[in-house]
Each structure stands twice: as C-alpha cells, then as structure tokens.
Amino acid sequence: MQKSLLKWYEIHGRHDLPWRNTKEIYHVYLSEIMLQQTQVNRVKEEYYFQFLEKFPTLEALAKAELSEVLSMWSGLGYYSRARNLHAAAQQSFNNFPTSQKELLKLPGIGRYTASAICCFGDEQNIPVVDTNIARVLKRYFGLIEPKENTLWSYAASFINSEKPKEHNLALMDLGSLVCLAKNPKCSACPLEKECLGKTEPHLYTQSKKKEYVNMELFYALWIKENKIALQHSKGPMYKNMLILPQTDPIEEDFVGEFKHAYTKYRLKVKLYKKENMALEEIEWVDLEKIGDAPISSLTKKALYFIP
C-alpha cells in the first residue's frame, strides 16, 4: 500500500507547490502558518511570494514592526497567525528549532505544525496528521471517532520510513483530491484494495455543526483632506490592526451596508458618513497609501463605499 501510494503521488501529487520544493525551514514554516484556514491557491498566488519578498529571512521578519507584518497579512484573515509568526521569529531567528519538542514552545505552533516543519523541512521520519490525512487514515483503518493520540499512532504505524516526506504529502494530497469528505472518488484511490471504510465512507466524516455568533456593527466613514480616520483595535477582533471608528447609527448619515464573515463571527456592517467626531487616538491615513496600512478585508470592503 505504501508503494501504491507513492506511485500515485508521483503521478498525481501537487509537485508545483513552491514550499514543497525548498529546504529552507523558514519557507516551510511560513507556508504551514499561511495554509491554516486558507486555501492553497490563495496562499500561493496572493501571499506566499509577496511575504517572502518583504521578509526574505526569519531575521528580517523578527526585526520588522508588527504593523508591517499585519499589513502584508491584510486580507488573509485569522490575524493571530501573523502576530504569533512575528513573535516566534523574534524568539528564534538566531537558532530556529528543528525538533518537535522545541518547536511546540513557540507561539502559534501546535502538534501538526511542529510535525510538518520537521518532516517537510527537515525530512524527519515522523507522522503528520492534518484534516485531510486524518480522513484518509480513519477510512483506511476503519476508525470511527478515534481519539487524537490513537490517530497519530496509526499514522506512525503506516509511515514509509524510507520516504516519510513523500508519504505524508501523498496522504495529504489523497485526502484533498480523492478521499473527499463528500463523494469520495474511491475507484481512483491507490489504497482502495485494503480500505476498511470504502463501503460506508460517510461514517468517518460526521462532524458537529459549527456555531456562529451574529453581530451588527456600526462604523464611521470620516474623510478629511483625502485621509480617513482609523483607530487601533483593542477588542478580540483585528487586534493590533487599524479599524474604522465605531459610531451611533443615525439614519440620515447612512451610507451603505454589507455582510462579512470573520472566524466564528457573522457580521452585518453598516456605514455612516461623519464630518466630525469626538474621538481620541485617531490615526489619519492617506487614502492613496491605505494599501500599506495594517487593515483587514472588512475595512477594505468599507472603502468601496467612499464616494
């Protein structure tokens, strides 16, 4: 089965992904952080290369201002990833660890990310289990709602010790391209012959329904001399980033509204034109340079309502 898996990967694997064709630990680390909660093509086309151009080394990232890092992350979402990435760089740029134990001490790095860095960046003989790999393993071994340690144990028992990196990447791609959560393509799977879950694959993908928090937000569009008023966020959303100031919803000042999703929040955002506000800690940002500011995709959407 290992040989069949590697043969499939050789033909069908996603070999064009840039972070798979480098031995730079920093590049692998960056890709793993970016790929959390974000689609592969979006990371590849819009963020990965641009980020590395701005911060080509871990040391360059460590010495940058957090606002610069957040600016480059703008629109990617889940901004705690960027804050943790920056903090980890400051802690480790002189001697970035390559052991799971030491990597787990850095902010924002959990069991999967530590394993991925060690295997994909340093080719260590260790299992890697992400959502896609977990689905493949649960079906292949017939594991219904296994505990996390059990799943990792099966992954370790199945790993190809001669080619651990290719093996883990093959499982990852198999889960992404063939062993899908809905309507898996079992006839195209190299593991079908011995798969214990192929007759009822849906049994291994049952999950709890996500619960979302609905919120209504009222923001001000305060423009003066081609500059917009922004404030540093102090709340749980968009921490350390610049956001529009909140305002009272006065109907005659209404400009427009839009919907926006952010982590567990489902937001209805309403915008109001303001000409004067009694606010402290306002930062005026030139609209022509707004692209360099640490703003979120929510704020970017709001800018389209500026006449």
Is residue 68 flagged as an active site residue? no
Residue 86 has pLDDT above 90, yes or no: yes
User: What is the per-residue DSSP string for 224-265?
Assistant: ETTEEEEEE--SSTTTTSEEPPB----GGGEEEEEEEEETTE
Amino acid at 10: E
Mean pLDDT of 104-128: 96
Task: Provide the b/e sequence for 102-138 (b: ≥16 CB within 10 Å).
Answer: ebeebebbeebbbbbbbbbbeebebbbbbebbbbbbb
pLDDT at 207: 67
Mean pLDDT of 183-188: 94
All domains in the chain, ordered by first residue: 2-204 (1.10.340.30), 213-303 (3.90.79.10)
The CA-based angle 114-67-100, given to 5 degrees, is: 10
Please write the tens of the pLDDT for every residue from 26-42: 999 999 999 998 899 99
Question: What is the spatial distance between Cα 192 and Cα 180, in angstroms, rounded to a whole number?
Answer: 13
User: Percent of the chain at pLDDT above 90?
Assistant: 78
Q: Exactly one of 32, 166, 216, 275 is catalytic; which is it?
A: 32
Residue 237 has pLDDT above 80, yes or no: no
pTM of the model: 0.82
Please write the tens of the pLDDT for every residue from 246-293: 999 999 999 999 999 887 889 999 999 998 887 778 899 999 989 889
